[in-house]
A and B are shown apart, each in its own frame.
Chain A
Protein backbone atom coordinates (compact mmCIF):
# COMPACT_ATOMS: atom_id res chain seq x y z
CA UNK A 1 0.00 0.00 0.00
CA UNK A 2 3.09 2.20 0.17
CA UNK A 3 2.42 3.50 -3.32
CA UNK A 4 -0.38 5.62 -1.87
CA UNK A 5 2.31 8.04 -0.68
CA UNK A 6 2.76 10.40 -3.60
CA UNK A 7 4.12 13.93 -3.77
CA UNK A 8 0.54 15.09 -3.47
CA UNK A 9 0.06 13.09 -0.28
CA UNK A 10 3.10 14.70 1.28
CA UNK A 11 1.88 18.11 0.14
CA UNK A 12 -1.59 17.43 1.54
CA UNK A 13 -0.36 16.12 4.89
CA UNK A 14 1.92 19.16 5.06
CA UNK A 15 -1.15 21.39 4.81
CA UNK A 16 -2.96 19.41 7.50
CA UNK A 17 -0.01 19.33 9.88
CA UNK A 18 1.29 22.81 8.98
CA UNK A 19 4.72 21.53 8.08
CA UNK A 20 6.73 22.77 5.15
CA UNK A 21 9.32 20.27 4.03
CA UNK A 22 12.34 20.98 1.90
CA UNK A 23 12.78 18.97 -1.30
CA UNK A 24 15.16 16.62 0.44
CA UNK A 25 12.91 16.24 3.48
CA UNK A 26 9.98 15.50 1.20
CA UNK A 27 11.77 12.65 -0.47
CA UNK A 28 12.80 11.24 2.90
CA UNK A 29 9.27 11.65 4.25
CA UNK A 30 7.84 9.85 1.24
CA UNK A 31 10.21 6.95 1.75
CA UNK A 32 9.79 6.79 5.54
CA UNK A 33 6.05 7.08 5.48
CA UNK A 34 5.79 4.49 2.75
CA UNK A 35 7.86 2.07 4.79
CA UNK A 36 5.98 2.79 8.00
CA UNK A 37 2.64 2.26 6.30
CA UNK A 38 3.87 -0.97 4.73
CA UNK A 39 4.76 -2.05 8.20
CA UNK A 40 1.44 -0.93 9.65
CA UNK A 41 -0.30 -2.84 6.87
CA UNK A 42 0.79 -5.92 8.77
CA UNK A 43 -2.25 -5.30 10.95
CA UNK A 44 -4.34 -6.25 7.93
CA UNK A 45 -3.31 -9.86 8.56
CA UNK A 46 -5.45 -9.89 11.68
CA UNK A 47 -9.16 -10.53 11.51
CA UNK A 48 -10.67 -7.86 13.74
CA UNK A 49 -14.27 -8.51 12.80
CA UNK A 50 -16.50 -7.89 15.78
CA UNK A 51 -13.72 -6.34 17.86
CA UNK A 52 -14.70 -2.95 19.29
CA UNK A 53 -12.04 -0.24 18.84
CA UNK A 54 -10.52 0.42 22.27
CA UNK A 55 -9.63 4.04 23.07
CA UNK A 56 -9.38 3.76 26.84
CA UNK A 57 -7.98 0.63 28.43
CA UNK A 58 -9.99 1.05 31.61
CA UNK A 59 -13.75 1.47 31.76
CA UNK A 60 -13.48 4.76 33.65
CA UNK A 61 -16.55 6.89 32.99
CA UNK A 62 -18.30 10.03 34.12
CA UNK A 63 -15.48 12.16 35.44
CA UNK A 64 -16.95 15.60 36.01
CA UNK A 65 -16.23 18.87 37.69
CA UNK A 66 -18.87 20.99 39.40
CA UNK A 67 -19.89 24.24 37.75
CA UNK A 68 -17.99 26.42 40.19
CA UNK A 69 -15.46 29.09 39.30
CA UNK A 70 -12.04 28.21 40.66
CA UNK A 71 -9.88 30.57 38.61
CA UNK A 72 -9.42 34.30 39.01
CA UNK A 73 -7.77 36.71 36.61
CA UNK A 74 -4.74 34.80 35.39
CA UNK A 75 -4.11 36.86 32.28
CA UNK A 76 -0.60 37.75 33.35
CA UNK A 77 0.31 34.06 33.50
CA UNK A 78 -1.55 33.35 30.28
CA UNK A 79 0.49 35.94 28.43
CA UNK A 80 3.79 35.35 30.20
CA UNK A 81 5.27 33.23 27.41
CA UNK A 82 3.69 35.07 24.47
CA UNK A 83 6.15 35.71 21.62
CA UNK A 84 4.26 38.94 20.93
CA UNK A 85 1.67 40.72 23.07
CA UNK A 86 -0.41 43.87 22.77
CA UNK A 87 -3.19 45.24 24.98
CA UNK A 88 -3.23 42.03 27.03
CA UNK A 89 -3.76 39.97 23.89
CA UNK A 90 -1.67 37.66 21.72
CA UNK A 91 -0.51 39.15 18.44
CA UNK A 92 -0.76 37.06 15.28
CA UNK A 93 -0.38 37.88 11.60
CA UNK A 94 -3.66 39.27 10.37
CA UNK A 95 -6.41 36.75 9.76
CA UNK A 96 -8.93 39.09 8.12
CA UNK A 97 -8.79 39.85 4.44
Chain B
Protein backbone atom coordinates (compact mmCIF):
# COMPACT_ATOMS: atom_id res chain seq x y z
CA UNK B 1 0.00 0.00 0.00
CA UNK B 2 1.27 3.45 -0.91
CA UNK B 3 2.54 5.50 1.97
CA UNK B 4 0.73 8.67 2.90
CA UNK B 5 2.75 11.85 3.16
CA UNK B 6 2.26 15.13 4.87
CA UNK B 7 3.79 18.37 3.60
CA UNK B 8 5.34 20.70 6.16
CA UNK B 9 5.80 24.28 5.05
CA UNK B 10 7.36 27.36 6.59
CA UNK B 11 7.66 30.72 4.87
CA UNK B 12 10.20 33.48 4.76
CA UNK B 13 8.39 36.54 3.54
CA UNK B 14 10.30 39.67 2.53
CA UNK B 15 8.35 42.89 2.49
CA UNK B 16 9.68 46.18 1.13
CA UNK B 17 8.71 48.94 3.51
CA UNK B 18 6.97 52.07 2.25
CA UNK B 19 9.56 54.52 3.55
CA UNK B 20 10.54 57.52 1.46
CA UNK B 21 14.23 56.79 1.86
CA UNK B 22 16.51 53.80 2.17
CA UNK B 23 17.24 52.02 5.43
CA UNK B 24 20.73 53.42 6.02
CA UNK B 25 21.04 56.51 3.79
CA UNK B 26 19.05 59.46 2.44
CA UNK B 27 18.50 58.03 -1.06
CA UNK B 28 14.97 57.81 -2.43
CA UNK B 29 13.22 54.44 -2.61
CA UNK B 30 11.08 55.54 -5.56
CA UNK B 31 10.69 53.09 -8.42
CA UNK B 32 11.91 54.02 -11.85
CA UNK B 33 14.58 56.58 -12.57
CA UNK B 34 17.63 55.75 -14.61
CA UNK B 35 20.00 53.10 -13.26
CA UNK B 36 22.04 54.14 -10.21
CA UNK B 37 20.26 57.50 -9.97
CA UNK B 38 19.11 56.71 -6.42
CA UNK B 39 22.52 55.87 -5.03
CA UNK B 40 25.16 57.38 -2.78
CA UNK B 41 28.40 56.20 -1.14
CA UNK B 42 26.49 54.32 1.58
CA UNK B 43 24.22 52.17 -0.60
CA UNK B 44 26.98 51.42 -3.11
CA UNK B 45 29.51 50.32 -0.51
CA UNK B 46 32.02 53.10 -1.15
CA UNK B 47 35.08 52.87 1.10
CA UNK B 48 34.69 55.06 4.17
CA UNK B 49 30.89 55.30 4.07
CA UNK B 50 28.84 54.41 7.16
CA UNK B 51 25.18 53.46 7.75
CA UNK B 52 22.68 55.32 9.95
CA UNK B 53 19.32 53.68 10.65
CA UNK B 54 16.12 55.23 9.25
CA UNK B 55 13.78 55.58 12.22
CA UNK B 56 10.69 54.93 10.13
CA UNK B 57 11.95 51.42 9.35
CA UNK B 58 11.99 50.62 13.03
CA UNK B 59 8.49 52.06 13.47
CA UNK B 60 7.07 49.98 10.63
CA UNK B 61 8.81 46.81 11.83
CA UNK B 62 7.45 47.27 15.35
CA UNK B 63 3.97 48.06 14.00
CA UNK B 64 3.95 44.83 11.97
CA UNK B 65 5.26 42.94 14.99
CA UNK B 66 2.49 44.25 17.22
CA UNK B 67 -0.15 43.48 14.59
CA UNK B 68 1.12 39.90 14.36
CA UNK B 69 1.15 39.34 18.12
CA UNK B 70 4.94 39.29 18.41
CA UNK B 71 7.10 40.01 21.42
CA UNK B 72 9.06 43.14 20.62
CA UNK B 73 12.75 42.73 21.40
CA UNK B 74 13.53 45.64 23.69
CA UNK B 75 17.25 45.57 22.93
CA UNK B 76 18.00 44.63 19.36
CA UNK B 77 21.04 44.81 17.11
CA UNK B 78 22.06 44.57 13.50
CA UNK B 79 24.38 41.89 12.21
CA UNK B 80 26.35 41.51 9.04
CA UNK B 81 25.61 38.57 6.78
CA UNK B 82 28.70 38.03 4.67
CA UNK B 83 28.52 36.66 1.13
CA UNK B 84 29.91 37.74 -2.19
CA UNK B 85 27.48 38.66 -4.91
CA UNK B 86 27.46 41.68 -7.24
CA UNK B 87 23.99 42.87 -6.20
CA UNK B 88 25.34 43.31 -2.68
CA UNK B 89 27.80 46.22 -2.92
CA UNK B 90 29.54 45.68 0.44
CA UNK B 91 29.49 41.91 -0.03
CA UNK B 92 27.72 41.77 3.29
CA UNK B 93 24.08 42.45 3.93
CA UNK B 94 23.10 44.31 7.08
CA UNK B 95 20.43 42.17 8.69
CA UNK B 96 19.48 40.82 12.11
CA UNK B 97 20.31 37.32 13.28
CA UNK B 98 21.03 37.27 16.98
CA UNK B 99 18.53 39.82 18.30
CA UNK B 100 15.76 40.36 15.71
CA UNK B 101 13.22 43.10 16.40
CA UNK B 102 10.18 40.79 16.81
CA UNK B 103 9.77 37.21 17.98
CA UNK B 104 7.15 34.61 18.86
CA UNK B 105 4.09 35.95 17.10
CA UNK B 106 1.23 34.44 15.15
CA UNK B 107 -1.57 35.21 12.76
CA UNK B 108 -4.84 33.36 12.39
CA UNK B 109 -5.99 32.11 9.03
CA UNK B 110 -9.31 30.70 7.88
CA UNK B 111 -8.92 27.38 6.09
CA UNK B 112 -11.21 24.79 4.63
CA UNK B 113 -11.92 21.99 7.09
CA UNK B 114 -9.40 19.31 6.25
CA UNK B 115 -9.49 15.57 6.58
CA UNK B 116 -8.92 14.45 10.12
CA UNK B 117 -10.59 17.53 11.51
CA UNK B 118 -13.53 16.64 13.67
CA UNK B 119 -15.16 20.00 13.26
CA UNK B 120 -18.24 19.83 11.14
CA UNK B 121 -17.91 23.39 9.93
CA UNK B 122 -16.61 24.15 6.49
CA UNK B 123 -14.03 26.64 7.67
CA UNK B 124 -11.88 26.65 10.74
CA UNK B 125 -9.35 29.02 12.22
CA UNK B 126 -5.73 27.98 12.33
CA UNK B 127 -2.87 29.74 14.04
CA UNK B 128 0.34 30.13 12.05
CA UNK B 129 3.29 30.89 14.28
CA UNK B 130 5.74 33.67 13.46
CA UNK B 131 9.21 32.73 14.57
CA UNK B 132 10.69 36.20 14.08
CA UNK B 133 10.64 39.40 12.07
CA UNK B 134 13.88 41.15 11.30
CA UNK B 135 14.93 44.33 9.52
CA UNK B 136 17.42 44.24 6.68
CA UNK B 137 18.50 45.93 3.46
CA UNK B 138 17.49 44.91 -0.05
CA UNK B 139 20.02 44.14 -2.78
CA UNK B 140 20.55 45.87 -6.13
CA UNK B 141 19.27 44.61 -9.44
CA UNK B 142 21.22 42.46 -11.89
CA UNK B 143 20.39 42.73 -15.56
CA UNK B 144 21.66 40.31 -18.10
CA UNK B 145 23.17 41.97 -21.13
CA UNK B 146 22.51 39.64 -24.05
CA UNK B 147 24.73 41.54 -26.45
CA UNK B 148 27.92 41.34 -24.53
CA UNK B 149 27.07 38.29 -22.46
CA UNK B 150 27.74 40.03 -19.18
CA UNK B 151 25.71 41.27 -16.22
CA UNK B 152 24.92 44.89 -15.43
CA UNK B 153 24.40 46.13 -11.90
CA UNK B 154 21.97 48.84 -10.83
CA UNK B 155 22.05 49.77 -7.13
CA UNK B 156 18.81 51.79 -7.07
CA UNK B 157 17.15 49.07 -4.95
CA UNK B 158 20.24 48.48 -2.86
CA UNK B 159 19.48 49.55 0.70
CA UNK B 160 15.70 49.70 0.29
CA UNK B 161 14.34 48.61 3.69
CA UNK B 162 12.90 45.14 4.08
CA UNK B 163 11.39 43.20 6.88
CA UNK B 164 11.69 39.45 6.72
CA UNK B 165 8.87 37.58 8.41
CA UNK B 166 9.88 34.03 9.24
CA UNK B 167 7.01 31.69 10.03
CA UNK B 168 7.08 28.50 12.02
CA UNK B 169 6.71 25.33 9.91
CA UNK B 170 2.98 25.37 10.64
CA UNK B 171 1.48 25.14 7.16
CA UNK B 172 0.44 21.89 5.53
CA UNK B 173 -0.89 22.88 2.12
CA UNK B 174 -0.67 25.48 -0.63
CA UNK B 175 -4.12 26.76 0.45
CA UNK B 176 -2.84 27.46 3.94
CA UNK B 177 0.23 29.15 2.54
CA UNK B 178 -1.87 31.43 0.39
CA UNK B 179 -4.29 32.17 3.23
CA UNK B 180 -1.30 33.07 5.41
CA UNK B 181 0.19 35.33 2.75
CA UNK B 182 -3.16 37.03 2.16
CA UNK B 183 -3.47 37.61 5.87
CA UNK B 184 0.01 39.10 6.15
CA UNK B 185 -0.59 41.23 3.10
CA UNK B 186 -3.79 42.68 4.53
CA UNK B 187 -2.23 43.41 7.90
CA UNK B 188 0.74 45.15 6.33
CA UNK B 189 -1.37 47.06 3.83
CA UNK B 190 -3.70 48.19 6.59
CA UNK B 191 -0.64 49.47 8.46
CA UNK B 192 0.49 51.31 5.37
CA UNK B 193 3.87 49.67 5.87
CA UNK B 194 4.02 48.33 2.31
CA UNK B 195 1.87 47.88 -0.77
CA UNK B 196 2.83 44.16 -0.76
CA UNK B 197 2.78 43.45 -4.47
CA UNK B 198 4.14 40.05 -5.33
CA UNK B 199 4.49 40.77 -9.02
CA UNK B 200 6.51 43.91 -8.43
CA UNK B 201 8.58 42.27 -5.74
CA UNK B 202 7.51 44.45 -2.83
CA UNK B 203 6.39 41.19 -1.21
CA UNK B 204 8.43 38.04 -1.84
CA UNK B 205 8.04 34.62 -0.37
CA UNK B 206 10.61 31.86 -0.03
CA UNK B 207 9.08 28.49 0.72
CA UNK B 208 10.74 26.02 3.08
CA UNK B 209 9.21 22.63 2.47
CA UNK B 210 9.69 19.10 3.69
CA UNK B 211 7.58 15.98 3.57
CA UNK B 212 7.16 13.21 6.10
CA UNK B 213 5.03 10.15 6.49
CA UNK B 214 1.73 10.91 8.12
CA UNK B 215 2.12 10.30 11.84
CA UNK B 216 5.90 10.79 11.85
CA UNK B 217 7.17 12.92 14.68
CA UNK B 218 10.36 14.24 13.12
CA UNK B 219 10.41 16.71 10.26
CA UNK B 220 11.94 15.60 6.99
CA UNK B 221 14.87 17.39 5.37
CA UNK B 222 13.70 20.69 3.98
CA UNK B 223 14.55 22.64 0.88
CA UNK B 224 14.14 26.35 0.33
CA UNK B 225 12.52 27.61 -2.84
CA UNK B 226 13.07 31.09 -4.21
CA UNK B 227 11.79 33.16 -7.12
CA UNK B 228 8.09 32.82 -6.44
CA UNK B 229 6.36 35.93 -7.69
CA UNK B 230 2.67 35.10 -7.75
CA UNK B 231 0.23 33.10 -5.68
CA UNK B 232 -0.12 30.75 -8.64
CA UNK B 233 3.61 30.19 -8.82
CA UNK B 234 3.68 29.52 -5.09
CA UNK B 235 0.90 26.95 -5.34
CA UNK B 236 2.54 25.23 -8.29
CA UNK B 237 5.99 25.28 -6.72
CA UNK B 238 4.64 23.69 -3.55
CA UNK B 239 2.94 20.96 -5.55
CA UNK B 240 6.06 20.39 -7.66
CA UNK B 241 8.47 20.30 -4.74
CA UNK B 242 6.22 18.07 -2.67
CA UNK B 243 6.08 15.55 -5.50
CA UNK B 244 9.81 15.77 -6.15
CA UNK B 245 10.58 15.01 -2.52
CA UNK B 246 8.04 12.18 -2.29
CA UNK B 247 9.52 10.63 -5.45
CA UNK B 248 12.99 10.81 -3.93
CA UNK B 249 11.82 9.16 -0.72
CA UNK B 250 9.91 6.49 -2.61
CA UNK B 251 13.08 5.70 -4.53
CA UNK B 252 14.95 5.50 -1.26
CA UNK B 253 17.04 8.57 -2.07
CA UNK B 254 17.75 11.34 0.43
CA UNK B 255 16.38 14.86 0.15
CA UNK B 256 19.30 17.29 0.12
CA UNK B 257 18.99 20.44 2.19
CA UNK B 258 19.51 23.15 -0.40
CA UNK B 259 18.17 26.30 -1.98
CA UNK B 260 16.26 25.81 -5.21
CA UNK B 261 15.09 28.25 -7.80
CA UNK B 262 11.57 27.80 -9.16
CA UNK B 263 11.13 28.23 -12.88
CA UNK B 264 7.41 28.85 -13.23
CA UNK B 265 7.40 28.63 -17.03
CA UNK B 266 8.96 25.17 -16.96
CA UNK B 267 7.20 24.24 -13.72
CA UNK B 268 10.47 22.91 -12.36
CA UNK B 269 12.95 23.86 -9.69
CA UNK B 270 16.73 23.82 -9.87
CA UNK B 271 19.36 23.59 -7.16
CA UNK B 272 21.10 26.95 -6.82
CA UNK B 273 24.13 25.81 -4.90
CA UNK B 274 27.55 25.88 -6.44
CA UNK B 275 30.89 24.90 -4.99
CA UNK B 276 31.83 28.56 -4.81
CA UNK B 277 28.98 29.13 -2.46
CA UNK B 278 29.75 27.79 1.01
CA UNK B 279 26.57 29.15 2.66
CA UNK B 280 28.52 30.11 5.73
CA UNK B 281 27.49 33.70 6.31
CA UNK B 282 29.80 34.49 9.22
CA UNK B 283 27.21 36.65 10.94
CA UNK B 284 28.54 39.05 13.55
CA UNK B 285 27.22 42.25 15.13
CA UNK B 286 27.72 45.22 12.80
CA UNK B 287 30.24 47.48 14.56
CA UNK B 288 29.08 50.48 12.50
CA UNK B 289 25.56 50.48 13.97
CA UNK B 290 24.62 50.93 17.59
CA UNK B 291 21.98 48.84 19.38
CA UNK B 292 18.34 49.84 19.36
CA UNK B 293 16.65 50.05 22.71
CA UNK B 294 12.87 50.25 22.67
CA UNK B 295 11.17 52.12 25.45
CA UNK B 296 7.65 51.61 26.75
CA UNK B 297 6.77 55.10 25.45
CA UNK B 298 7.93 54.23 21.95
CA UNK B 299 5.87 51.03 21.99
CA UNK B 300 2.85 52.91 23.33
CA UNK B 301 3.15 55.48 20.60
CA UNK B 302 3.24 52.82 17.89
CA UNK B 303 0.35 51.01 19.56
CA UNK B 304 -1.75 54.15 19.65
CA UNK B 305 -1.16 54.68 15.95
CA UNK B 306 -2.24 51.16 14.95
CA UNK B 307 -5.16 51.38 12.50
CA UNK B 308 -8.49 49.63 12.61
CA UNK B 309 -7.72 46.20 11.14
CA UNK B 310 -9.98 44.19 8.89
CA UNK B 311 -11.87 42.22 11.52
CA UNK B 312 -12.93 45.36 13.38
CA UNK B 313 -13.63 47.16 10.15
CA UNK B 314 -15.94 44.39 8.98
CA UNK B 315 -17.86 44.56 12.23
CA UNK B 316 -18.19 48.31 12.00
CA UNK B 317 -19.34 48.27 8.37
CA UNK B 318 -21.99 45.72 9.26
CA UNK B 319 -23.27 47.95 12.02
CA UNK B 320 -22.97 51.28 10.21
CA UNK B 321 -23.74 50.67 6.57
CA UNK B 322 -26.61 48.93 4.93
CA UNK B 323 -24.58 46.95 2.43
CA UNK B 324 -24.41 43.19 1.82
CA UNK B 325 -21.87 41.03 3.70
CA UNK B 326 -20.36 40.06 0.38
CA UNK B 327 -19.63 43.71 -0.43
CA UNK B 328 -18.06 44.19 3.00
CA UNK B 329 -15.86 41.18 2.41
CA UNK B 330 -14.58 42.52 -0.89
CA UNK B 331 -14.21 46.14 0.14
CA UNK B 332 -12.31 45.39 3.35
CA UNK B 333 -10.20 42.88 1.43
CA UNK B 334 -8.16 45.85 0.28
CA UNK B 335 -7.11 48.66 2.55
CA UNK B 336 -7.02 50.99 -0.41
CA UNK B 337 -10.56 50.13 -1.46
CA UNK B 338 -11.83 50.48 2.10
CA UNK B 339 -10.18 53.89 2.29
CA UNK B 340 -11.91 55.00 -0.92
CA UNK B 341 -15.21 53.66 0.30
CA UNK B 342 -15.01 55.45 3.63
CA UNK B 343 -13.80 58.71 2.14
CA UNK B 344 -16.56 58.78 -0.48
CA UNK B 345 -19.19 58.06 2.18
CA UNK B 346 -17.67 60.78 4.32
CA UNK B 347 -18.15 63.18 1.40
CA UNK B 348 -21.84 62.47 1.47
CA UNK B 349 -22.30 59.67 -1.06
CA UNK B 350 -24.77 56.97 -0.12
CA UNK B 351 -22.86 53.86 1.08
CA UNK B 352 -24.88 51.49 -1.05
CA UNK B 353 -24.16 53.54 -4.17
CA UNK B 354 -20.44 53.76 -3.42
CA UNK B 355 -20.37 50.04 -2.83
CA UNK B 356 -22.19 49.43 -6.10
CA UNK B 357 -19.58 51.37 -8.06
CA UNK B 358 -16.78 49.48 -6.34
CA UNK B 359 -18.37 46.06 -6.67
CA UNK B 360 -19.56 46.62 -10.21
CA UNK B 361 -17.60 48.81 -12.59
CA UNK B 362 -14.42 49.00 -10.47
CA UNK B 363 -14.01 45.24 -10.12
CA UNK B 364 -14.93 44.74 -13.78
CA UNK B 365 -12.26 47.19 -14.96
CA UNK B 366 -9.64 45.84 -12.53
CA UNK B 367 -10.21 42.37 -13.89
CA UNK B 368 -10.19 43.55 -17.49
CA UNK B 369 -6.94 45.43 -17.01
CA UNK B 370 -5.41 42.76 -14.75
CA UNK B 371 -4.90 45.16 -11.87
CA UNK B 372 -5.08 44.86 -8.09
CA UNK B 373 -7.41 46.97 -5.93
CA UNK B 374 -4.22 48.69 -4.71
CA UNK B 375 -3.83 50.06 -8.24
CA UNK B 376 -7.09 52.04 -8.13
CA UNK B 377 -6.16 55.60 -9.02
CA UNK B 378 -9.42 57.56 -8.89
CA UNK B 379 -9.98 59.70 -5.86
CA UNK B 380 -12.93 59.18 -3.51
CA UNK B 381 -13.83 62.82 -4.10
CA UNK B 382 -14.35 62.18 -7.81
CA UNK B 383 -16.36 59.05 -7.15
CA UNK B 384 -18.59 61.04 -4.77
CA UNK B 385 -19.03 63.73 -7.42
CA UNK B 386 -19.98 61.15 -10.02
CA UNK B 387 -22.57 59.70 -7.68
CA UNK B 388 -23.94 63.21 -7.04
CA UNK B 389 -24.21 63.80 -10.79
CA UNK B 390 -26.33 60.67 -11.25
CA UNK B 391 -28.35 61.36 -8.12
CA UNK B 392 -29.33 64.77 -9.46
CA UNK B 393 -30.09 63.17 -12.85
CA UNK B 394 -27.59 65.54 -14.42
CA UNK B 395 -26.29 62.51 -16.31
CA UNK B 396 -27.90 59.17 -16.97
CA UNK B 397 -26.41 55.84 -15.98
CA UNK B 398 -24.99 55.08 -19.41
CA UNK B 399 -23.13 58.37 -19.50
CA UNK B 400 -22.06 57.79 -15.89
CA UNK B 401 -20.42 54.50 -16.86
CA UNK B 402 -18.58 56.17 -19.71
CA UNK B 403 -17.38 58.94 -17.41
CA UNK B 404 -16.36 56.37 -14.82
CA UNK B 405 -14.14 54.56 -17.33
CA UNK B 406 -12.26 57.76 -18.02
CA UNK B 407 -12.09 58.50 -14.31
CA UNK B 408 -10.76 55.00 -13.63
CA UNK B 409 -8.01 55.50 -16.16
CA UNK B 410 -7.06 59.11 -15.55
CA UNK B 411 -8.78 60.24 -12.36
CA UNK B 412 -10.50 63.13 -14.12
CA UNK B 413 -12.94 65.39 -12.27
CA UNK B 414 -16.34 64.09 -13.47
CA UNK B 415 -18.10 67.48 -13.08
CA UNK B 416 -15.55 69.23 -15.21
CA UNK B 417 -15.43 66.40 -17.70
CA UNK B 418 -19.23 66.26 -18.14
CA UNK B 419 -19.26 70.01 -18.59
CA UNK B 420 -16.44 70.08 -21.11
CA UNK B 421 -17.74 67.17 -23.16
CA UNK B 422 -21.35 68.43 -22.99
CA UNK B 423 -22.64 65.18 -21.58
CA UNK B 424 -25.35 66.65 -19.37
CA UNK B 425 -28.81 65.24 -19.82
CA UNK B 426 -31.01 67.56 -21.87
CA UNK B 427 -33.80 68.69 -19.61
CA UNK B 428 -35.33 70.96 -22.24
CA UNK B 429 -38.86 69.48 -22.66
CA UNK B 430 -39.42 71.22 -26.01
CA UNK B 431 -36.29 69.70 -27.53
CA UNK B 432 -37.19 66.26 -26.19
CA UNK B 433 -40.77 66.49 -27.54
CA UNK B 434 -39.46 67.51 -30.94
CA UNK B 435 -37.05 64.55 -31.10
CA UNK B 436 -39.69 62.08 -29.91
CA UNK B 437 -42.10 63.35 -32.56
CA UNK B 438 -39.44 62.84 -35.22
CA UNK B 439 -38.71 59.33 -34.01
CA UNK B 440 -42.43 58.44 -34.05
CA UNK B 441 -42.72 59.80 -37.57
CA UNK B 442 -39.69 57.86 -38.77
CA UNK B 443 -40.72 54.50 -37.30
CA UNK B 444 -44.35 53.82 -38.26
CA UNK B 445 -43.89 50.05 -37.99
CA UNK B 446 -42.84 50.21 -34.35
CA UNK B 447 -45.63 52.62 -33.57
CA UNK B 448 -48.04 50.19 -35.07
CA UNK B 449 -46.53 47.27 -33.15
CA UNK B 450 -46.90 49.26 -29.95
CA UNK B 451 -50.52 49.96 -30.63
CA UNK B 452 -51.01 46.28 -31.36
CA UNK B 453 -49.92 45.54 -27.81
CA UNK B 454 -46.27 44.77 -28.43
CA UNK B 455 -44.84 46.44 -25.29
CA UNK B 456 -41.30 45.72 -26.45
CA UNK B 457 -41.65 48.08 -29.36
CA UNK B 458 -41.45 51.05 -27.00
CA UNK B 459 -37.98 49.92 -25.97
CA UNK B 460 -36.82 50.26 -29.55
CA UNK B 461 -38.31 53.74 -29.78
CA UNK B 462 -36.61 54.79 -26.50
CA UNK B 463 -33.32 53.53 -27.95
CA UNK B 464 -33.83 55.50 -31.17
CA UNK B 465 -34.62 58.67 -29.22
CA UNK B 466 -31.54 58.23 -26.99
CA UNK B 467 -29.45 57.71 -30.10
CA UNK B 468 -30.83 60.82 -31.75
CA UNK B 469 -30.03 62.78 -28.57
CA UNK B 470 -26.51 61.31 -28.41
CA UNK B 471 -27.32 59.66 -25.08
CA UNK B 472 -27.86 62.95 -23.29
CA UNK B 473 -31.40 62.25 -22.17
CA UNK B 474 -32.92 60.67 -19.15
CA UNK B 475 -34.37 57.32 -20.39
CA UNK B 476 -37.25 57.53 -17.90
CA UNK B 477 -38.32 60.93 -19.25
CA UNK B 478 -38.07 59.64 -22.83
CA UNK B 479 -40.25 56.68 -21.95
CA UNK B 480 -42.83 58.91 -20.35
CA UNK B 481 -42.88 61.33 -23.29
CA UNK B 482 -43.26 58.48 -25.81
CA UNK B 483 -46.20 56.97 -23.97
CA UNK B 484 -47.80 60.37 -23.78
CA UNK B 485 -47.42 61.09 -27.52
CA UNK B 486 -48.40 57.63 -28.68
Contact = CB atoms under 8 A, between A and B. Distances in A.
Interface of A: 12, 15-16, 18, 55-56, 60-71, 73-75, 77-79, 86-96
A91 B54 contact: no
8 tightest Cβ-Cβ pairs between the two chains A and B: A70-B26, A67-B56, A64-B55, A89-B152, A75-B36, A90-B153, A73-B37, A55-B285
B276 A15 contact: yes
B58 interface: yes
B324 interface: no
A66 B21 CA distance: 9
Judged by DSSP, the binding face of B is: loop
A89 B278 contact: no
Contact of B54 (A62, A64, A89, A90): A64
B52 interface: yes
Contact of B53 (A63, A88, A94): A63
A59 B143 CA distance: 43
Given A67-B21, A91-B153, 16 more contacts: A16-B278, A18-B84, A55-B287, A61-B292, A65-B54, A66-B54, A66-B55, A67-B57, A71-B28, A87-B35, A90-B153, A91-B152, A93-B150, A95-B85, A95-B86, A96-B142
Interface in B25-73: 25-28, 33-41, 44, 52-58
B206 interface: no
B296 interface: no
Contacts of A88: 34-37, 154
Contact of B145 (A12, A60, A86): A86
A62 B85 CA distance: 30
A94 B41 CA distance: 24
A25 to B, nearest CB: 19
- Scoring A64, A66, A89, A96 by chain B CB atoms within 10 A of each residue's CB, the highest score goes to A89
B282 A16 contact: yes
Interface range on chain B (Cβ under 8 Å from partner): 35 or more
B290 interface: yes
Contacts of A79: 36
B26 A78 contact: no
Given A62-B290, A67-B54, A96 B144 contact: yes
A88 B142 CA distance: 13
Contacts, number: 129
Contact of A69 (B27, B144, B291, B293): B27
Contact of A75 (B21, B34, B58): B34
Contact of A89 (B35, B41, B276, B285): B35
B470 interface: no
Contacts of A62: 290, 292-293
B153 A89 contact: yes
B142 A95 contact: yes
B190 interface: no
Contact of B290 (A15, A56, A96): A56
B261 to A, nearest CB: 10
A61 B25 contact: no
Contact of A92 (B25, B27, B86, B285): B86
A47 to B, nearest CB: 23
Nearest to B85: A95
Contacts of B150: 86, 91-94
Interface of B: 19-21, 25-28, 33-41, 44, 52-58, 77, 82, 84-86, 142-145, 148-155, 275-276, 278, 280, 282, 285, 287, 289-293
Contacts of B292: 61-62
Contacts of B56: 66-67
A88 B58 CA distance: 32
Contacts of A90: 86, 152-153
A78 B155 contact: yes
A55 B280 CA distance: 21
Contact of B20 (A55, A61, A68, A95): A68
Given A78-B36, A86-B152, A69 B86 contact: no
B278 A15 contact: yes
Contacts of B278: 12, 15-16
Contact of B40 (A56, A61, A74): A74
Given A75-B35, A78-B44, A95-B142, A67 B19 contact: yes
Contacts of B35: 75, 87-89
B374 to A, nearest CB: 21
A96 B146 CA distance: 11
B52 A63 contact: yes
A94 to B, nearest CB: 5
A64 B40 contact: no
A65 B19 contact: no
A74 B57 CA distance: 23
Contacts of A55: 77, 285, 287
A14 to B, nearest CB: 10
Nearest to B298: A62
Contact of A94 (B54, B144, B289, B293): B144
A93 B151 contact: yes
B287 A89 contact: no
B290 A67 contact: no
Nearest to B161: A67
Contacts of A71: 25-28, 38-40
